[in-house]
Amino acid sequence: MNSRKTRFRDAFLNGDTLIGSFLKIANTQPAEILGAAGYDFVVVDEEHAPFSRESTDRIILACKAWDIAALVRVQGPAPEMILSVLDCGADGVLVPHVDSADKARAVVSAARYAGGARGYSPTTRAGRFGGARMQAHTEAQDARVTVIAMIEDVAALDHLDEIMAVDGLDGIFIGRGDLTVAMGQSSGTAAPVAEAVGMITDAARRAGKAICVMSSSASDMRSLAAQGATAFITSSDQTLLKSAAAQGLEEARAALAST
């Protein structure tokens, strides 16, 4: 995806194949490196990593500089959490633990102006610091902001069609880690988890919702792609650093041991 020509939301809704990574390190450089490498998007993980409002703001700015879409996994569905990152200019939000249609509607309302209740201020990065006129700003934001519900609770499985039917919800992220723990399983490939994933992807396809997943192996990605997933989070900045560090250390020790 070339974000200079195609907004993330347009590509996501179009079913383009998108590759991204979670960000866990509260610094701009991981986002810049991934942008330079050609990744399509990053997800700033405010739910599980130590980001502040200010560090998230800086990373969103860095993403704009390096032409990579910036999504934020917010800590929860509270409107102020969603508003904060959208005003900073995030391309969208992943909202955890959406287990009912009512919660999905509340999330959409917090993220949208038309038909919603997003708080308005033009003096933000999203509003070009006062440079965007009201109607132009609200229409552009509603067209650009991507709203993704995380389906990761057993309770959500009984309400999938109702959740997927919520107008303004662009897609879903399947949280296999939480589902695995909630089901008392030890692997995301366990049969009950795989069955739940199949239920979620079936419901998303019926409703025409885009599907985002976390996947790090080629066989798993192919399997999920066959079920309709098009946006893939393949790793995190921490994992990439850890993997490269371990490999570099192993290679250095092997080289020195042979001298």
**pLDDT, tens digit (0-9, with 9 covering 90-100), for 13-51:** 999 999 999 999 999 999 999 999 999 999 999 999 999
Q: Which residues pair with 172 in a beta bridge?
A: 149, 211
The pTM assigned to this predicted structure is 0.95
Residue 258: predicted pLDDT: 83
For tokens 């991934």, the residue is 34
Residue 24: predicted pLDDT: 98
Where helices occur in 165-236 by DSSP H, the ranges are 176-182, 191-207, 218-226
Cα separation of 47 and 26, whole Å? 13
**Per-residue pLDDT at 168 exceeds 50:** yes
Relative orientation angle of helices 79-87 and 53-65, to the nearest 10 degrees: 40
Residue 109 token pair: 């309302």
**Per-residue pLDDT at 6 exceeds 70:** no
User: Is 97 tagged catalytic?
Assistant: no
Cα separation of 105 and 116, whole Å? 9
Catalytic, out of 48, 97, 137, 159: 48
